[in-house]
C-alpha cells in the first residue's frame, strides 16, 4: 500500500475495546515506582503515613481516656433531657428507622449492601452499649427498620403512599413527642426547651432549618424573578440584607429583636434560634435556587405556555422540577454547612453538641481531655455530613436516569 492511499476497512465488524490487564507488580510499577523520583516519593510518603497512623492508633488505643465519652454519652446525645422522658426520643428514632426502612425498600432496592449495613447498625450498637434500656431501644429500632424494609418488598404500592404520608407527618409527630403537650397531660408532660441539648438539639435545629428555609428560599427565588416590582424589590432587599450580615448577628437579632417585634408574646429561646437559622439559610438558598431557575432554557417556558399551561403550572410542573434538580449538589452543600453552622447557637446560650462538649470539658473529672471530646464530636459531625452527601449522590443518580 502506498503511503498516500487512505485505508478503508473492508469489514464493518465491531471490535472489542482494547483491554489493559495488569498484575499487582505491574500496577505498582506503573502507578508508584515508574521513575526514581516517584519511587522516592512513594517510600517517603509511606514512611510518613506509617508514623502518623502508628501515632494516632497508639494514642487512641492506649492513652486516650474514652470514658469521658461513655460516662457522658447521654449528655452528648440529648443534653439534660429528663431520663423519664427518654422513651419519647427513642420512639422518634424507631419511627425514623421504620420510615427509612420503607423508603429504602421502595427507592433504594439496588443498594442492598448498604441496606444490610444500615440495618445491622442498631444491633451492633446494642451489643456495644452497656446501658440496658438503650440496648432494648436499639433492638426495637433495628426491628422497626427491618419491618419497614420487609413491608415495602411485600406491598410496594401501598407502602409508597404510607411512607410519603409518614414523612410528612413525621415532623409534627417529632415535635409533639420531643416537646410534649400541656402540663395536665400525664403521658406526654412538656419538656422545657432549656433541657434540650446535645446532638438532639443540633439535629432539630438542622431539620427545622432545612424544612422551613427550603420553601421560603424557593419562594424568594421566584419572587426575585417576578415582574411585579413590589414583590421583586422586597425579595431583593431581604436576600441582600441577610447575605450582608454574619450568621452570628442574625442569631443575636433573632434573640433580641423578635421579642421586640412581637411584644406580649414570649417566644421560646430555641424557637428564636430556629427562626435565626431559617431566616439566614433562606437567603442563601434563594440565590442557589435562582441559579437553577436561570439555567432553564427559554424554550421550556415557551413550550409550556404554547400548550396552554398557566404561568403557575409552568413554574410548578416544568421549571422548578428541572431547576431544583440542577442545584441538588449546591443545596446539599448548603444543608451540610447549615448543619455545622448550628454550632454557633452556643453564642446565644444553647447547649448543642458543641456546647455540651464544652460543658463536659469543664467537669472536674475530665479536665484536659479536649482531644478525646473533640475527636468524638468531629466523628459525630463527620458521620452525619457523610450520610447527607451520600444521600444526595443517590438522589442525583436516581433523578438522572435517562439523561
Partner 1 sequence: MSANIPSTTDPIIICRDVHKWYGNYHALRGITMEVRRGEVVVVFGPSGSGKSTFIRTINRLEEHQRGQIIVDGIELTHDVRNIERIRMETGMVFQQFNLFPHLTVIDNITLAPIWVRRWTKAQAEEIAMQLLKRVGIPEQARKYPGQLSGGQQQRVAIARALAMQPKIMLFDEPTSALDPEMIKEVLDVMVELAESGMTMIVVTHEMGFARAVADTMYFFDQGRIVESGTPDQMFSDPREARTKLFLSQILSH
By the criterion CB under 8 A, which residues form the site for partner 1? Answer: 297, 299-300, 302-310, 313, 317-318, 321-322, 325, 399, 401-403
Burial 123-150 (b: 16+ CB within 10 A, else e): beebeeeeeeebbebbbbbbbbbbebbe
Q: What residue spans of 180-268 are helical by DSSP H?
A: 198-224, 229-243, 247-261
Q: How far apart are CA 112 and CA 133, in angstroms?
A: 30
Smallest distance from partner 1 to CB 302, Å: 5
Smallest distance from partner 1 to CB 322, Å: 5
Q: How far is CA 196 from CA 89, 258, 345, 349, in A?
A: 11, 21, 13, 12
Nearer to partner 1, 55 or 321 (CB): 321
Nearer to partner 1, 230 or 401 (CB): 401
Q: Where are the beta strands (DSSP E) in 30-176?
A: none
Gyration radius of the chain over CA positions:
27
Classified as helix, coil or strand, 34 is coil
Smallest distance from partner 1 to CB 297, Å: 8
Q: How far apart are CA 281 and CA 352, in angstroms?
A: 18
Nearer to partner 1, 308 or 364 (CB): 308
Smallest distance from partner 1 to CB 260, Å: 43
Q: How far is CA 351 from CA 94, 180, 186, 251, 301, in A?
A: 24, 20, 27, 14, 48
Residues in the chain: 403
Orientation angle between helical segments 132-154 and 112-128, nearest 10 degrees: 160
Q: How far apart are CA 225 and CA 219, in angstroms?
A: 10
Nearer to partner 1, 160 or 194 (CB): 160
Nearer to partner 1, 116 or 307 (CB): 307
Nearer to partner 1, 18 or 402 (CB): 402
Smallest distance from partner 1 to CB 80, Å: 47
Smallest distance from partner 1 to CB 250, Å: 35
Smallest distance from partner 1 to CB 157, Å: 15
Classified as helix, coil or strand, 373 is helix
Smallest distance from partner 1 to CB 343, Å: 37
Q: How far apart are CA 290 and CA 215, in angstroms?
A: 13
Nearer to partner 1, 191 or 323 (CB): 323
Among 348, 331, 328, 352, CA closest to 340: 352
Classified as helix, coil or strand, 352 is strand
Nearer to partner 1, 300 or 375 (CB): 300
Amino acid at each position: 500500500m502506498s503511503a498516500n492511499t487512505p485505508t478503508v476497512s473492508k469489514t464493518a465488524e465491531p471490535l472489542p475495546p482494547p483491554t489493559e490487564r495488569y498484575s499487582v507488580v505491574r500496577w505498582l510499577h506503573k502507578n508508584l515506582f515508574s521513575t526514581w523520583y516517584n519511587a522516592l516519593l512513594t517510600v517517603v510518603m509511606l514512611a510518613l503515613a506509617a508514623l502518623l497512623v502508628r501515632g494516632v492508633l497508639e494514642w487512641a488505643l492506649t492513652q486516650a481516656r474514652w470514658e469521658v465519652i461513655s460516662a457522658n454519652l447521654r449528655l452528648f446525645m440529648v443534653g439534660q433531657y429528663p431520663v423519664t422522658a427518654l422513651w419519647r426520643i427513642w420512639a422518634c428514632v424507631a419511627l425514623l428507622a421504620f420510615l427509612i426502612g420503607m423508603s429504602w425498600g421502595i427507592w433504594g432496592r439496588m443498594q442492598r449492601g448498604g441496606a444490610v449495613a444500615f440495618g445491622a447498625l442498631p444491633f451492633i450498637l446494642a451489643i456495644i452499649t452497656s446501658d440496658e434500656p438503650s440496648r432494648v431501644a436499639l433492638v426495637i429500632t433495628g426491628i422497626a427498620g427491618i419491618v419497614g424494609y420487609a413491608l415495602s418488598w411485600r406491598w410496594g404500592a401501598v407502602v409508597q403512599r404510607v411512607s410519603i404520608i409518614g414523612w410528612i407527618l413525621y415532623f409534627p409527630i417529632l415535635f409533639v413527642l420531643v416537646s410534649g403537650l400541656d402540663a395536665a397531660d400525664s403521658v406526654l408532660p412538656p419538656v422545657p426547651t432549656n433541657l434540650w441539648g446535645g446532638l438532639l438539639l443540633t439535629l432539630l435545629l438542622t431539620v427545622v432549618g432545612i424544612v422551613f428555609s427550603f420553601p421560603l428560599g424557593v419562594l424568594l427565588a421566584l419572587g426575585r424573578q417576578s415582574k411585579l416590582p413590589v414583590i421583586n424589590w422586597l425579595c431583593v432587599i431581604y436576600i441582600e440584607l441577610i447575605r450582608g450580615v454574619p450568621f452570628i448577628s442574625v442569631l443575636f437579632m433573632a434573640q433580641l429583636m423578635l421579642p421586640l417585634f412581637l411584644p406580649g408574646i414570649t417566644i421560646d429561646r430555641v424557637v428564636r434560634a430556629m427562626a435565626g437559622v431559617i431566616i439566614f439559610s433562606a437567603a442563601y438558598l434563594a440565590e442557589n435556587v435562582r441559579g437553577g431557575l436561570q439555567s432553564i432554557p427559554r424554550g421550556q417556558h415557551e413550550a409550556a405556555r404554547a400548550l396552554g399551561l398557566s404561568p403557575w403550572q409552568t413554574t410548578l410542573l416544568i421549571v422548578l422540577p428541572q431547576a431544583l434538580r440542577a442545584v441538588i449538589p449546591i443545596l446539599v452543600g448548603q444543608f451540610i454547612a447549615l448543619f455545622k453552622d448550628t454550632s454557633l447557637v452556643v453564642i446565644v446560650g444553647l447547649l448543642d453538641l458543641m456546647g455540651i462538649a464544652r460543658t463536659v470539658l469543664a467537669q472536674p473529672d475530665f479536665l484536659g481531655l479536649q482531644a478525646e471530646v473533640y475527636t468524638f464530636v468531629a466523628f459525630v459531625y463527620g458521620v452525619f455530613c457523610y450520610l447527607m452527601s451520600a444521600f444526595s449522590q443517590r438522589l442525583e443518580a436516581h433523578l438522572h436516569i435517562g439523561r
